[in-house]
Amino acid sequence: MALLLVLAQPPRALADPLVEQETRAAQARTVEKVSGKNVAVAILDRGIDWRHPDFRNADGSTRIAYIFDLSDNMGARAAGNPYGFGTLYTRAQIDAALNGGPPLATRDAVGHGTATAGNCCGNGRASGGRYTGVAPDSTLIIVKFTSDGAVAHDGQAAETAFFDATRFPQAVDFAVDKARELGMPLVMLANFGSVNGRADGSDAIAKKIDAVVGPGKPGLVFITGAGDDGGGDNHAFGTVAAGQNLALQFRKGQTGSVTLSLWYGASDRFAVSVSSPGASYGPYAAPANNSYDAQTTADFRYGQNGSVYYDNTWRLIYLTVNGPVGNYTLNLSGTQIGNAAGAGQFEAYLTPTYYSLKNANRFLSHVQAGKTIWPGAAARYNIVPNSYVFRTGWTGLNGGNYSVTTEGAVGDLWAGSSIGPTWDGRVGIDVSAPGERTITTYAPDSEWGTYRGNMVADGGGLYGMASAVSAAAPVTTGIVALMLQKNPGLDAAAIKTALQRSARADAFTGSVPNPRFGYGKVDALAALAAIPRVAVPASVTNCLFDWAEMHYEDLFRPRGAPTAGFAPYTYRYYAGSGNYLAVSADDNHIWLLGPGSGNQLLDVGAVTDYQGLAGCSSVGQR
Q: Are residues 581 and 545 in the same domain?
A: yes
Tell whether the model's pLDDT for residue 50 goes beyond 90. yes
Q: CA torsion, points 511, 516, 517, 519, in degrees to nearest 10?
A: 60
Residue 85 lies in a domain: yes
Residue 4 lies in a domain: no
Q: How far apart are CA 36 and CA 422, in angstroms?
A: 32
Give the contacts of 85 (CB within 8 A, at least 6 positions apart): 70, 73, 76, 167, 170
CB 371 within 8 A of CB 345: no
Q: Which residue has the higher pLDDT, 223 or 611?
A: 223
Q: Are residues 117 and 167 in the same domain?
A: yes
Q: How far apart are CA 217 and CA 459, in angstroms?
A: 40
Q: Are residues 142 and 221 in the same domain?
A: yes
Q: Are residues 514 and 392 in the same domain?
A: yes
Residue 445 lies in a domain: yes
Q: Are residues 93 and 175 in the same domain?
A: yes
Residue 48 lies in a domain: yes
Radius of gyration of the chain (CA): 27
Residue 310 lies in a domain: yes
Residue 8 lies in a domain: no
Which residue, 329, 349, 368, sits at the end of a domain? 368
Q: Are residues 582 and 598 in the same domain?
A: yes
Q: Are residues 411 and 293 in the same domain?
A: no
The β-bridge relationship of strands 571-574 and 580-583 is: antiparallel
Q: What is the CATH number of the domain that holds 169?
A: 3.40.50.200
Which residue, 347, 368, 389, sits at the end of a domain? 368
Across 237-269, b (16+ Cβ under 10 Å) vs e yields ebebeeeeebebbbbbbeeeebbbbbbbbebbb
Q: What is the CATH number of the domain that holds 298?
A: 2.60.120.1290
The β-bridge relationship of strands 40-45 and 186-190 is: parallel
Q: Are residues 80 and 205 in the same domain?
A: yes
Can you give the pLDDT at residue 85? 96
Q: Are residues 215 and 242 in the same domain?
A: no
In tens, the pLDDT along 186-209 reads 999 999 999 988 899 999 999 999
Average pLDDT, the chain: 85
Domain count, the chain: 3
pLDDT confidence band for 219 (50 / 70 / 90): very high
Residue 616 lies in a domain: no
Q: Are residues 364 and 508 in the same domain?
A: no
Q: Are residues 216 and 263 in the same domain?
A: no
Strand partners, 329: 249, 275
CB 108 within 8 A of CB 440: no
Q: Are residues 133 and 105 in the same domain?
A: yes
Can you give the pLDDT at residue 572? 34
Burial of 460 from C-beta contacts in 10 A (0-12 / 13-18 / 19+) = middle
501 vs 234, 392, 497, CA distance in Å? 32, 29, 6
Dihedral of CA 135/140/144/145: which sign?
Answer: negative
In tens, the pLDDT along 555-609 reads 333 333 333 333 333 333 333 333 333 333 344 444 443 333 343 444 444 433 4
459 vs 128, 401, 441, 450, CA distance in Å? 10, 15, 9, 14
Which residue, 501, 529, 557, sits at the end of a domain? 529
Task: Tell me the three state secondary structure of residue 596.
Answer: coil
Task: Tell me the three state secondary structure of residue 394.
Answer: strand
Residue 316 lies in a domain: yes
Where in the sequence is the domain holding 550, given as residue range(s)? 538-610
Can you give the pLDDT at residue 313? 83
Strand partners, 455: 464
CB 284 within 8 A of CB 302: yes
What pTM was computed for the model?
A: 0.85
In tens, the pLDDT along 265-280 reads 999 999 999 999 999 9
Tell whether the model's pLDDT for residue 286 goes beyond 90. yes
